[in-house]
Structure 1
Amino acid sequence: MGLIVITAAAVAYGVAAGLLLPRAAYRLSVAPDAPWRDRCPEGHPIPGWLGLSRCQAGGPGSAAHRYGAGPAWTAALAGALCGVLGGVLGGRPEAVVFVAAAPVLLLLGLVDLAVQRLPDVLTLPLAAALALGLGGAAQLPGAAGSWTDALAGGGVLAGAYLVLFLINPAGMGFGDVKLALALGVTLGWYGWGVWAAGAFLGFLYGALYGLGLVLRGSAGRRTTFPFGPFMAAGALTGVLLGGFGA
């Protein structure tokens, strides 16, 4: 019964958070050095950062128009991600940290898919929040990971991505390096085996997607595509493997 309650709570949190993501994704989906969007496509001011991607310029009784990502599928995806994490990790204290971070990773994926950008306003605070959150979780009974390995994992994965960025800046964005810091902390928590698996799977997922584009004739060898969602998918898989193993 306890696991059912935890999973249900995680799903409810994910759905609620997913409903709030579309407006933030729309506002953040701009080119580098461009100001964040503050108006809908019709030119009406957007109130706040979180909420549905719906605009009622004439007031509550006026006709509304939608923009950006649909809230139904962002809520469903966030609920599924959080539910799976909650169900696998159960009552371990790190579950709260990972479930809380899942909608932020989804938001990063939405922005990266839209404009191939991972904003610093999300990546760097996410890395800090994960490090602090797991540091707190490590002090509680039932924690199944290592905070020192998490910190080391973040530094090593970010360093590896930095080397790749320096070797081929056209094929690897610096935002990926910053995201790697957060994902490395996440993967390092359950040890270096999980870290290696999650890092490898991120590259594998991206390579399979790129190969699919080439085979379909939708891309060439030099075509770039957003890599952040595949990094996040690899890290999620690694955390699930670590949770099962623990």
Structure 2
Amino acid sequence: MELIAQTVPAWLVVVAGLIGLLVGSLLPGIVVRHSPSGEDARSAPSGLLLALVTAGLFVIVSMHFGLSWQLPAYFFFAAVAVVLTVVDARHRLLPNAVVVPALGIGTVLLALAAAGEADWGALVRALFGGLVLFVVYLILALISPAGLGMGDVKLAAVLGTFLGFQGWGTVFVGAVLASVVGAVVGLVVLASRRGGLRSDVPFGPSMLVGAMVAVLWGEGLARNYLLPAFY
């Protein structure tokens, strides 16, 4: 994928934004449904905020992929990323009821994209990408269980699948950016005196932010800056 988004019809961007607003308005209910049982609708995140964030992501995704077979898959990915980011940030929880279906549904949508584009190699790479990130994060979690939980490990399989469809450079960039974003968040928490060196800062949001950036610009970053020798 290129660093510069392709030219797309204005109507597609508008429609993507409207769909994002609609989907985003439904996400607070999903967040509450998959949060700890003590939370109720009154403590739900702002519906307007999630609608605007989701609409913005849908617009960016549509500008990047254009009218393509991949577009539904990455709309889905963006919506899932919003839900998991909010739940993990609020409760330090990556619920299986979201992560596991996301892997299955995401794989089906990517398979449809591979069929539509006659690019089965991308689907095979996506499956291997999910497996590779799952194994890497599992090893890290076993080495340092205080730093990573099994929710992060399962989320890595989802992210690796979506990243792998774009390319191995995207997988690499997504993994690197997750660590970079996580380090920055940790430093901000420490500097703000809201936590110490042992603060339990959830890593899921950092993984999701890094993956979203990598999906959009990972191949370009890998090709031009990080891994030019491999291209």
Specify which structure has the higher proportion of helix: 2
Q: Is the Cα contact below 8 Å between 1:145 and 1:190 reproduced in 2?
A: no
Amino acid at match of 1:6: L
1:4 aligned to 2:10? yes
- Aligned residue identity for 2:131: G
Residue of structure 2 equivalent to 1:155: 131
CA deviations on 1:29-83 (whole Å, 9 max, x unpaired) are: 21xxxxx46x83xxxxxxxxxxxx5xxxxxxxxxxxx431111100000100111
Deviations 1:98-156 (A, max 9, x none): 01221121111111011100000000110111112111111113869711111100000
Give the distance between the partners of 2:181 and 2:110, measured in 1 at CA.
Answer: 26
Instruction: Give the equivalent residue in structure 2 for 1:14.
Output: 20
* Structure 2 unmatched runs, 5+: 1-6, 222-231
In structure 2, the residue matched to 1:90 is 66
Whether the aligned pair in 1 keeps the contact of 2:34 and 2:97 (CA below 8 Å) is no
Q: Quick check: 1:93–1:143 contact (8 Å CA) kept in 2?
A: no
- Contact 2:103–2:158 (Cα < 8 Å) also in 1: yes
Partner of 1:140: 116
Residues 205, 230 of structure 1: 8 Å contact kept: yes
Question: Partner amino acid for 1:24?
Answer: I
Percent same amino acid at aligned positions? Answer: 33
Look up the match of 2:199.
Answer: 223
CA distance in 2, matches of 1:242, 1:129: 23
In the other structure, the counterpart of 1:202 is: 178
How far apart are residue 236 of structure 1 and its match? 0.6
Distance 1:243 1:84, change over 3 A: farther
Whole-Å separation in 1 of the counterparts to 2:119 and 2:45:
36
State yes or no: 1:181 paired with 2:157.
yes
- Per the TM alignment, residue 4 of structure 1 is displaced from its structure 2 partner at its CA by 1.7
What is the correspondence of 1:1-246 to structure 2 with a 5 Å cutoff?
3-30=9-36, 36=37, 40=40, 53=41, 66-141=42-117, 146-242=122-218
Relative distance call for 1:70 and 1:192 in structure 2 (3 A) is same
Q: TM-score, normalised by structure 1?
A: 0.81
| Structure 1 unmatched ranges of 5 or more | 31-35, 41-52, 54-65
1: CA distance between counterparts of 2:8 and 2:209?
27
Distance 2:51 2:107 in 1: 26
* Residue of structure 2 in register with 1:50 after alignment: none
Change (3 A) 1:243 1:11: farther
Instruction: Give 1:217 deviation, angstroms.
Output: 2.1
Contact 1:88-1:244 at 8 Å conserved across structures:
no
Aligned residues: 216
| Separation of aligned partners in 2, 1:21 and 1:144 | 32
- The 2-side partners of 1:244 and 1:142 are apart by 23
Measured at CA, do residues 243 and 89 of structure 1 come closer, stay the same or move farther in structure 2, by a change above 3 Å?
Answer: farther
